[in-house]
Structure 1
Amino acid sequence: MNLAAQTRLLLEQAYDAYRDSPRAASWLGRHLDRFSDPLRLAVVGGPATGKSTMVSAIAGQELSGQGDGMRWFRAAPSRSQNELTLIDTPAIDEHATPQTIEGICAEADAVLYLVRHPHNADLGFLHTLQDHAIARASAVNSVVVLSRADELGGGRVDALISARQIARRYRREPELRGLCQDVVPVAGLLAAGGRTLREAEFDALVDLAAVPKAELEPQLLSADRFLASTGQPGAVLLERFGLFGVRLAITLIRRGAQTLPSLAAQLVPRSGLAELRDSIDQYFTEREEVLKARSALLGLEVVLRMEPRPATPALAAELERVVVSAHEFRELRLLAALRTGRIALPPELAAEAVRLLGGHGTGIAERLGGDGSQHAVLDAIRRWRELAERPGAGTGERRAAAVVVRSCEALAAGPL
């Protein structure tokens, strides 16, 4: 029985035990219902991190208005074809109330935490996410996003290259271990603008691209110069794309992107949005049952702690057993560690480990590279067990191999 099935069963038992408590029964019933709902992904960050812009980019639609509370949107299906509910949250700063933070933690199955620059990032919210024994044991539900990645590269056309190098270094920082699965750079304005490019904006960019380079380039040295020379039309472009996006769009138009669809098709990949959507798929939507189970286990612990009953000790013991034995959490932690370089294996072994852990899809065929035979499973178990028991292997290698062996044994036992 996998983690989701065990969690459902435990919730149903708790629901029966708390049926006479309207508040507890409602809370448990909501978590049971959430297994049938799309995964809930909260976009969280401080002021000026571009939360609403990032939601627009992921959802592929412009968001209307601003709100003080949480706003909910349905994202278009991505590679996994699983639906996704996006939550645009209030800014997390010194004025954020404990109720706001608790509300986000209670509603979200997973979190994108937006920061402008890694060197002055406030990671307090991520620490709050793990401020619970169950959460620390299952710290697999957050990704840090460098949401204004173009600024890290000085707004140059190749700014995302610099931002990716910074992200690679940052994701290995000791302070991030146990706090997030990955760090992904995205030029948020460019991503949102590219996905929702309007005809009038495209025409304005085409007009700018027609201006001789010697005349236009001095205007593009700073936002102030650009505004002084273009006025209100330029202000609209800056608000929608940023100076980095305007520069890049003009360059692409000059190189042949002469239609709106062709320009949009080139802007979005250069924003880093594809990498972010891949991370969302790999860590969240493809593991939505695991993350929903995690939310439910946290919710159940709250009920057991707040309203003790005669059945509470037995339910608490079963809850602890489910969390401790949840191999799915170990899989996700190791998958992130391999992808971010926090654990190093030889390239061929690392690639095979990612596949066997479900990094290219969680089905048997995807995990085994197309060969779902029992012989292939047993062969994988043998090879990885040898590595786990090899005297000369490092501690990290042996631990990683032991997790892969357990994944293979689950494949041998039946569907995950």
Structure 2
Amino acid sequence: MTAPPPLLDVAGALLTEAAHLYRDRPHASRVLRGQLARLGEPLRIAVAGRPGTGKSTLVNALVGEQLAPVRLARRDAHFTWYRDAAALRVSGQFRGGPPRDLAVSRSSDGLWLEPSSMPPANLDRVLVEYPTRALRDMVLIDSPALADSGDGERDPVAARLAEEADAVVYLSRHAEPAELSGLRATLDSPVARAAPVHSILVLSRADEIGAGKIDALLSARQLARRSRRENGACAAFQSVVAASGLVAFAGKSLQDEDFAALSLMATVSRADLERYLLSVDTFCGPRFPVELGPDARRALLTQFGLFGIRLAVTLVRTGCDSRIKLSAQLAQRSGLSELREAIGGNFLERREVLKARSALLGLESVLRAEPRRGGERLAAAMERMLAGLHEVRELRLIAALVAGRLSLPTPLRDEAVRLLGAEGTSVPERLGVEDQRLVPEATIEALVKWRREAESVDSPAPRRQAARVVVRTCEGLLTRTAP
């Protein structure tokens, strides 16, 4: 059995053929060359959402630095890209012009462009380059807020996300259909609808659930799991997680003086301190039970929020007796680790299929906007490639199994999820073996088992269909292990 060519090689060959066909069409040629270049770039992951969902805060938490947002004097809406580099550098890309370096200053709430460096009104995007391991395998895109109207099809921000991002982390306060409609424009094409595997939903104000009580983050995680299982509006997302970017970044950026202030507050009894944590006014008011000035309290409030302060003080009282311990606990409880795992498993380890999807979307847009003789052959080749994207079927089946939308007995479900690559995409990880010598036997054993499941007349049709996807996966593993 011969292994198929790598997915990106197939996509690259298709784009190259298209670029040759459209070599005399400047706009189409530029789009296709851009798509070819993207195949070798890190994955582009956009952070998107309605106003006030905490996009920039989550970007900071993922990067581990206070870099977002990049603020302009005119407060123009712009896309900001964050990319790994040897040193901090900020540049602007202008519509109809070359990129230009921009002078910035760092503050406690992001980056500010210096007045002397203020760009003209045709700024298209800002690129922030910064040395961090968090961006080695991806480019993060902090997008302007999506329209609040719920009419995502006409939202230019959503349309641009469809063109420029390989994957989207979508932030929402609630898992309601109206709140989740902002990505509709990113699915407004046959290719996108056939491969809706590019987005993760984050319930981003997790600390606000349950009126900000101390167990709010736990309640938010339970809500995310329930939404994933039962909420049909979440079916388009590969995963649903709950996270508080504010708590996550507060943990990552915790300083000794912050820990000292929180420890001082923890010396006050719970009952006496609680009344000062009911509102911003009472927390920053003239009276306070410890020697902590209004400016220091306002700084803590900006960094943690009331819920974060309440949680941090509770953690100090219950054993987090050092800055390092408290930092780790805040990051863990924030949901950031779960979000990183979702990004890794659904996006980074599936880079090839997401890159191929972007390539097909770019080609589709060219064929639709500028039809010409010879395009029919390209469209047919594109359809064949899309039909053969087994990796898309794997991702959709993983989401259905994990969310409980498709039921299998627990042992079968766990094995299917592992074989489909949810716990790692290498052959040993899929097969659940550590000794490479056991791989051939384990592959054949899995293939025989799942063929039986696929052919069982006693199983309902959805179960047999799911088994056929796993069989195709096992056949692919067999080609990868064949001598």
Q: TM-score, normalised by structure 2?
A: 0.81
Q: 1:63 to 1:344 in 2, by over 3 A?
A: same
Does the 8 Å contact 1:115/1:121 carry over to 2?
A: no
Deviations 1:307-334 (A, max 9, x none): 2222201001000111112101000111
Deviations 1:45-67 (A, max 9, x none): 11110000010111111125435
Tell which deviates more after alignment, 143-152 or 362-371. Answer: 362-371
- Counterpart pick for 1:66 among 62, 65, 71: 71
Q: CA deviation at 1:374?
A: 2.3
Match of 2:462 in 1: 396
**Secondary structure in 1 matching 2:281:** helix
The 5 A counterparts of 1:197-236 are 197-228=254-285, 229=287, 231-236=294-299
The reply on whether 1:274 has 2:337 as its aligned counterpart is yes
Does the 8 Å contact 2:50/2:148 carry over to 1?
A: no
Match of 1:54 in 2: 58
Tell which deviates more after alignment, 29-38 or 290-299. Answer: 29-38
- CA distance in structure 2 between the partners assigned to 1:350 and 1:337 by the alignment: 10
Match of 1:290 in 2: 353
Q: CA deviation at 1:120?
A: 7.0
The reply on whether 1:257 has 2:320 as its aligned counterpart is yes
Match of 2:243 in 1: 186
Q: CA deviation at 1:174?
A: 5.0
Of structures 1 and 2, the one scoring higher in RCO (CA 8 A, sep 6+) is 1
Does the 8 Å contact 2:147/2:155 carry over to 1?
A: no
Match of 2:97 in 1: none
Structure 2 counterpart of 1:295, one-letter code: S
Q: What is the Cα-based RMSD across aligned positions, in Å?
A: 2.1
Q: 1:138 to 1:145 in 2, by over 3 A?
A: same
Deviations 1:148-194 (A, max 9, x none): 11111221221122112211221234532552111110122101111
Match of 2:407 in 1: 344
- CA distance in structure 2 between the partners assigned to 1:82 and 1:384 by the alignment: 37
Deviations 1:358-415 (A, max 9, x none): 1111111111112553222121111001111111212221111111000000111227
Structure 2 counterpart of 1:286, one-letter code: E
List runs of 5+ in structure 1 lacking aligned partners.
Answer: none
Q: 1:395 to 1:103 in 2, by over 3 A?
A: same
Q: CA deviation at 1:203?
A: 2.5
Does the 8 Å contact 1:59/1:74 carry over to 2?
A: no
Report the count of equivalent residues. 414
Q: CA deviation at 1:82?
A: 5.7
Match of 2:453 in 1: 387
**Secondary structure in 2 matching 1:414:** helix
The 5 A counterparts of 1:44-123 are 44-64=48-68, 65-66=70-71, 68-74=77-83, 76-77=132-133, 83-94=137-148, 98-119=155-176, 121-123=178-180
Q: CA deviation at 1:247?
A: 0.9
Structure 2 counterpart of 1:202, one-letter code: F
Match of 1:25 in 2: 29
**Secondary structure in 2 matching 1:183:** strand
**Secondary structure in 2 matching 1:171:** helix
Deviations 1:343-362 (A, max 9, x none): 12111111111111111111
- Counterpart pick for 1:125 among 170, 178, 182: 182
Moved over 4 A (4+): 75-78
The reply on whether 1:366 has 2:429 as its aligned counterpart is yes
- CA distance in structure 1 between the partners assigned to 2:318 and 2:207 by the alignment: 21
Structure 2 counterpart of 1:277, one-letter code: R
- CA distance in structure 2 between the partners assigned to 1:269 and 1:259 by the alignment: 16
Higher strand share: 2
- CA distance in structure 1 between the partners assigned to 2:245 and 2:210 by the alignment: 14
Q: CA deviation at 1:223?
A: 3.4
**Secondary structure in 2 matching 1:300:** helix
Match of 1:411 in 2: 477
- Counterpart pick for 2:13 among 6, 9, 12: 9
- CA distance in structure 1 between the partners assigned to 2:49 and 2:475 by the alignment: 40
- CA distance in structure 1 between the partners assigned to 2:481 and 2:377 by the alignment: 29
Deviations 1:1-30 (A, max 9, x none): 243222111111111212222222221111
The reply on whether 1:144 has 2:201 as its aligned counterpart is yes
Q: 1:17 to 1:317 in 2, by over 3 A?
A: same
Q: CA deviation at 1:237?
A: 1.7
- CA distance in structure 1 between the partners assigned to 2:178 and 2:259 by the alignment: 35
**Secondary structure in 1 matching 2:44:** strand
Does the 8 Å contact 1:82/1:285 carry over to 2?
A: no
- CA distance in structure 2 between the partners assigned to 1:273 and 1:121 by the alignment: 25
**Secondary structure in 2 matching 1:268:** helix
Does the 8 Å contact 1:136/1:178 carry over to 2?
A: no
Does the 8 Å contact 2:175/2:233 carry over to 1?
A: no
**Secondary structure in 2 matching 1:379:** helix
Tell which deviates more after alignment, 160-169 or 208-217. Answer: 208-217
Q: 1:138 to 1:120 in 2, by over 3 A?
A: closer
**Secondary structure in 2 matching 1:62:** coil
Deviations 1:84-139 (A, max 9, x none): 11110101124797332222221110001111122475222222221211101100
- CA distance in structure 1 between the partners assigned to 2:453 and 2:177 by the alignment: 40
- CA distance in structure 2 between the partners assigned to 1:178 and 1:8 by the alignment: 31
- CA distance in structure 1 between the partners assigned to 2:412 and 2:6 by the alignment: 26
Percent of pairs with identical residues:
47
Structure 1 counterpart of 2:459, one-letter code: A
